[in-house]
Amino acid sequence: MKKTEGRRRRRSVMRRKNQLTLPREVTEALHIREGDEVEFDIGEDGQVVLRGMTMVPADQAWFWDREWQRGEREASEQIAAGHTEEFEDAESMFDALEQER
CATH number of the domain to which 45 belongs = 2.10.260.10
State how far the Cα of 15 lies from the Cα of 12, in Å rounded to an integer.
9
Residue 3 clears pLDDT 70, i.e. is over it? no
pLDDT digits over 44-99, tens only?
999 999 999 887 888 888 898 889 999 999 999 999 999 999 999 999 999 999 99
Using the CB atoms, write b or e for 59-89: b if 16+ within 10 Å. eeeeeeeeeeeeeeeeeeeeeeeeeeeeeee
Instruction: Please check whether residues 77 and 94 belong to one and the same domain.
Output: yes
> Helix-strand-coil percent breakdown of the chain, rounded to 5?
45, 20, 40
Instruction: Please check whether residues 62 and 21 belong to one and the same domain.
Output: no
pTM over 0.75: no
Domain carrying residue 88? 58-100
Residue 31 clears pLDDT 90, i.e. is over it? no
Domain count, the chain: 2
Position with higher pLDDT, 101 vs 80: 80
Strands (E), 16-76: 37-42, 48-53
